[in-house]
Structure 1
Amino acid sequence: MRVLLVHGLLNANWWLLPLARKLRSEGFDPAVFGYASVLHGPERAIPALAQRLCREPVAAIVGHSLGGLIALEALRQAPDAQVTRVVCLGSPLRGSATARTLAAHGWGRPMLGRSAGLLQAGLSEWNGPAQVGVVAGDVARGMGRLFARFDGDSDGTVGLEETRLPGIADHCIVHSSHTGLVFSADAAAQAAAFLRDGRFKALLPEGEGKS
């Protein structure tokens, strides 16, 4: 299965290489979509991704953080794409409190660049044909703790409630920070499960299944 990986804000293609290796070991054929998240942002990335999805036989997408939002918006513009499943890793699908705080201060706006609008607003729902699953982290270690207060648990940058979008097919939580989701073996395994079956693996309570 051809899977396209989409990175998040302030990242580049190489950032996704560990995730690509893990998915390749699970039998997938990963490729990477890169874009200038600050300089050009979604305005160029979304149509460019939509065009690529129409040109190539891509069956699924895995997007980290902003990459998940870019992926879903590209699929809105490419309704005939062959993508059947999307996994969002720590994506603030309902908008990011961290981004809104940064945007409210002059010193924080350059960090968001042209991606500020999409990160702040997020989406209202998902009603496209592709199944969407979200893997969220619960280790509150990240820059978001310096700029935003979250209602409930977070991965340090994105609140768990910010990842719960009406219309998604499944949602799971792994023990990881926001940045760590790209490197997490558990996150990769859950992504692989959803790409195959359209649902995440049930996690055993701590202590069960061990001898």
Structure 2
Amino acid sequence: MADPVLLFHGLGRTGLSMLPMARALRRAGFDPHVVDYPSRKHAIGALVETIVSPTVDAALADADRVHFVTHSLGGVLVRAFAAGRADAGTPLPDGSRAVMLAPPHGGSEVADALGDRLPFRATLGPALGELGTGDASVPIGLGPLRGVEAGVIAGTRTFFPFGRLFSGPYDGLVSVESAHAPDGLADRAVVPKTHAMMMMSPLVIGLTIRFLRTGQFAESGDA
């Protein structure tokens, strides 16, 4: 039986953004399921409870393990879910893996800049204010990544005008440092891609499939 792969899009996006990845995963022998969830309507905790948890339970009803491919906010949701399962003593089955594309694990400076502005709060919802770098940051408060074998792919290209907010390479919305922030990652990769389009890149898709199969981004024998 093919392993199920749950795909979670980013804040303000829809499941359509993950369809190229899903098609490639199916061709590679996986059983992908794109989760189209209301990212702009609920806080992170509510999304984990009402979307991620029941979706994972349904996938595991017919499978021995489950994998994830996430973009941006989706990676924080899966990280929070997996940590909660691990802390409760009910971790995901061995061999469950996650590839997280441009997740703001260390918070986003852009969320800091926009989170208090009414037009952006109204458009993107409560999760925006939880993705910053301050004391209220949900991803920073999660601590080490645990409960799932995870690799993170960060990007270094941008067409967004937020360069003054960052001190190092970033993909337009999330820095490489933030994406790779948590202890406990199984592997890390950096690609010359933008935040908005990363999940559609053939390079990123290839790295994702390799990690889901092997638990690493490099080919066997690579330095």
Same fold at TM > 0.5: yes
1:50 to 42, 50, 53: 53
When normalised by structure 2's length, the TM-score is 0.82
| CA 1:129–1:71: 2 relative to 1, 3 Å | closer
- 1:190 maps to 207
Cα deviation 1:53-97 (Å, max 9, x = unaligned): 123225211110000001111222334333721111011111111
1 CA distance for matches of 2:22 and 2:58? Answer: 21
- 1:158 maps to 174
Q: CA deviation at 1:153?
A: 0.7
* Alignment-mate amino acid for residue 170 of structure 2: S
1 CA distance for matches of 2:43 and 2:21? Answer: 22
RMSD, matched Cα = 2.2
User: Any stretches of 5+ residues in structure 1 without a counterpart?
Assistant: 203-211
| CA 1:108–1:129: 2 relative to 1, 3 Å | closer
Identity, % of aligned positions: 30
Q: Which runs of 4+ in 1 moved over 6 A?
A: none
2 CA distance for matches of 1:52 and 1:107? Answer: 31
2 CA distance for matches of 1:199 and 1:75? Answer: 19
Secondary structure of residue in 2 paired with 1:87: strand
2 CA distance for matches of 1:77 and 1:55? Answer: 17
Contact 1:68 1:88 (C-alpha < 8 Å) held by counterparts: yes
2 CA distance for matches of 1:40 and 1:147? Answer: 29
- 2:33 maps to 31
Aligned residues: 202
Cα deviation 1:95-138 (Å, max 9, x = unaligned): 11101110133333223311124312223533423111001111
User: Any stretches of 5+ residues in structure 2 without a counterpart?
Assistant: none
Q: Does 1:85 align with 2:97?
A: yes
